[in-house]
Each structure stands twice: as structure tokens, then as C-alpha cells.
Amino acid sequence: MGRRGSRRRRLRKSMFKQGGNGDGDARCPPHPGFVGGFCFRCGAKEEDAEGGAPPCPAHRGLSFLSGVKDGGAEGRAPPGGAPAVRRKTQESPAVTASATASIPRASDLETLLRARKLTLILDLDHTLLNSTGFRQLSPTEEINGFTRHARDDPSAGLFRLDGRTLRMLTKLRPFVRGFLEQASAMFEMHVYTLGGQDYARAVVKLLDPDGVYFGARIVSCDESTRQDMKNLDVVPGAEAVAVVIIDDSDYVWPEHKENLILMDRYLYFASSCRQFGYSVSSLAELRRDEREHDGSLAVMLEVLKRVHRGFFDSVLGGHCSDVREVIRAVRREVLRGCTVAFSRVIPLEYVAGDHPIWKLAEQLGAVCAANADATVTHVVALDPGTEKARWARHNNKFLVNPNWVKAASFRWCRPNEQEFPVTRGR
């Protein structure tokens, strides 16, 4: 029967141990749901199952996904292309044995589903933490005490790395340990970074000193099979239907954007602000930090809970489940009920529907309108003097700047419109 047949036999055998009988009654039928072509309870093939759910087309939606269309996260690459990171990668798209020999295989899909878990792949830099070399510290940061002589401050999440090739400060993102603890109950977690292996293992040791969250499931540029890019082929056993990815950059995941939840970048040090072309003061320079209870990781944890719940609720409802469709559905709830018109935000040379901000608003569930009429709830503008901006004020509609849409994509909720006024000179 091949690979799938053996997987079915293993699954049935394990279910018999859990209370099924030797006559093939592993509590099915009826079959509660199918993932990857197999009943996640008894392992029966979908096309052979009697009394099971109907066949699952490749793009079948979930029970709560009526009308959902394909869509991914807004593209976001740093100014000037990919950031400069030390890499040692293979350019061949094929995964060699040596490339993945040190990476533990992801748990079988059936094993994860029985434990009500999915696979979560986490980026490190600018997602869970931020690092900077001692020589890259700004004068203001040094005045604030961030120097080559700074000591570890665990209470502030600040650590120094003093390895043979690592001489830097690392700042953990607020709430990161609480995030990892709660996420581990819903996901089998992996780290995937384009930093070097020594760096990856050193900072994972800070995040997970006892190895309870990641174990040895760490992929660095030394194992990655595509230069400056990331791909699930380096995570043996991971199946895209059950993988969620959290990263601050989507351009590094060209083949898996539908699995990606884009994270607001953590730019604690000035070197990272410069790296991405932001002419702003760093958090370290401002002596500030994100808040724990409602910061980016707290928001992301709530999103993961919704995705996890949506995935397993749909499976138990007898429908095919694909985490990519669940992510799309959760994203489309963010601005549902809003109708948006844009005023001088989209250049004339663009087809409006092809512009990234128009696409992003639609992915967040908003309806985009070419003209301002009674159905419009929000006008997004750069200049308060445009015709549409004046119309919005006259008709008591919300008038916001484009950052309102971008904030919605990171906060996963409708932002307070008063925080995004349209002023001259923007």
C-alpha cells in the first residue's frame, strides 16, 4: 500500500490502544473529519471511508469561510533589499542529507492532531528579540548604559553574548517567555533564522534555557537550502496544511506566504532602525520598550489562539481543514464592515485594485470603493484638503491616514481612528 498505507496502519494501531477493538472499530464511522486525505481519528482513507465526509477538493473552504477568496500578507521587504546577515547557504533547491541531518523531524500530522497541536515556525531577529554588535551602539545608547561593558540584566531581558564569534547585546522582546509558554500548548514550535548556527543556538538558549519549547528544532542559515530565503523543505515532516509561520519579513518566504502571519518588527537598537531605513530613535535611545500585556507578542498570541481554534473547530465539524484558509478567514474579520475610499494615496499610474494598500485593506475584510458615496465609512488620505477628505468631514465619515490600514494588519483589530489623523505635510 506504500507510504500512505503504512501511515494508516500505524494510526489505526495507535487508536486501538486508545480503546478501539480488533474488528476495525476505531470509534469510526462516522468520521469526525479528514486532514491530508485521512480521518484524523482512525486513519481511514477518505475515498474508502463508509459514512465519512464527502471528498475534499484541494481548495475546499471551511464551514465558516463562505465567500473567502485567496489572499496573502502585504509584501514587505526592507529598503534596499534584504538585510546584510552573515550566511552560509546552498543554492540548490533540493534538500541534501547533510543539510537536514541535525534537524529533528517534525511530528507526524496525525500525532499533532491527536494532541490538538499544529506546527509553529518562529523567526528570531526582530520577531522574538533584537541584537546589536557592541561597535554598532549609537552614542545615545551608550549614554543610556548600553556599552561593551554592560552586564546581563535578566529582569529587563538584556543579555550579552561573548562567544568566540559573538560579541553583542541581545534584548528579548517583552512577554516573549509568556508567549512561548502559552503557544507551546497549541503548537510544536521550531526556530528558523537566517543568522548563523552559533548565534541561533546562543539566543535560543536565552529564550528556552531548559530546551522545553524548541529542543533541537533550530534551523539557521547553515542548514537553509535557499540563499537568503526560507522554505519548509528544511523542516522534515512539516505539512503546509498545518504550519503557521511568524516572521517580520514576508519576502523571505516566497513559497509559503499563505502560512505566514507578518509580525510588527521589534527595533530595540539603533542599528536595526538604520538597517531598515527608519530615521527614528530606537527604543534603547528613548529608554522605552513595548508593553507586555498588550504589546506585539500579546496580540500575536491572541491571533494564534483564534487560528488554532478555527482549525480544530472546522475539523471536528466534519470539514477539511487547512490552516492557510483559517488564517485568511481570521484576517478578513479585522476590518469587516468597513468600506474604504482612498484619496491621493494610490499613484495615478497604478490600477487601484493592484496597489498594495488596496489589496491589504481587502485582505483585512474591508470593501474598497473607487468613489466616495453613502456606503463609504472611511476615507484614507494624505492631505486633508482633497475633495474626498472634505466630503468625509462634511458627512461625518472617518478620515484617517494610510497608517490606519497598516496598523490594522499588525494589531489584528480595527484601530482607533482618532490615532491616525490626516494633517498637512504628511
Provide CB contacts within 8 A for 158, sequence distance 6+.
150, 152, 169, 170, 171, 172
Beta bridge partners of 381: 343
Picking from 5-9, 17-21, 283-287, 390-394, which range would have the lowest pLDDT averaged per residue? Answer: 17-21
Task: Delimit the domains of the chain by residue range.
Answer: 1-56, 97-312, 334-419
Q: What CA–CA distance (Å, rounded) separates 154 from 266?
A: 18
Cell of 143: 549614554
Q: What CA–CA distance (Å, rounded) separates 375 from 366?
A: 12
pLDDT, tens digit, for every residue of 50-60? Answer: 444 444 333 33
What dotted CATH number matches 334-419?
3.40.50.10190
Is-contact 387 350, C-beta < 8 A? no
Instruction: For 197-235, give one letter per residue: b (16+ CB within 10 A) or e.
Output: bbbbebbbebbbeeeebbeebbbbbbbbbbebbbbbbbb
Q: Is the pLDDT of residue 32 over 90?
A: no
Nearest to 323 by CA among 204, 202, 232: 232
User: What is the CATH T-level fold of the domain 97-312, as seen in this structure?
Assistant: Rossmann fold (3.40.50)
Pairing of strands 367-369, 339-343: parallel
- Predicted model pTM: 0.77
Q: What CA–CA distance (Å, rounded) separates 297 from 303?
A: 10
Q: Which residue has the higher pLDDT, 247 or 7?
A: 247
Cell of 88: 552560509
Q: Is the pLDDT of residue 62 over 60?
A: no
Please give the average per-residue pLDDT across 123-136, as a whole number.
Answer: 97
Please give the average per-residue pLDDT across 212-220, as a whole number.
Answer: 94
Cell of 170: 541581545
Please give the average per-residue pLDDT across 203-221, as a whole number.
Answer: 95
Specify the pLDDT at position 274: 95
User: Which phi and psi (to 5°) does residue 6 adopt?
Assistant: -65, -35
Pairing of strands 367-369, 378-381: unpaired
Q: Is the pLDDT of residue 319 over 80?
A: no
Pairing of strands 34-35, 38-39: antiparallel
Q: Is the pLDDT of residue 145 over 50?
A: yes
Q: Is the pLDDT of residue 14 over 60?
A: no
Provide CB contacts within 8 A for 105, sequence distance 6+.
236, 237
Q: What CA–CA distance (Å, rounded) separates 89 from 96?
A: 12
Is-contact 76 63, C-beta < 8 A? no
Q: What CA–CA distance (Å, rounded) separates 361 from 246?
A: 20
Q: Is the pLDDT of residue 338 over 80?
A: yes
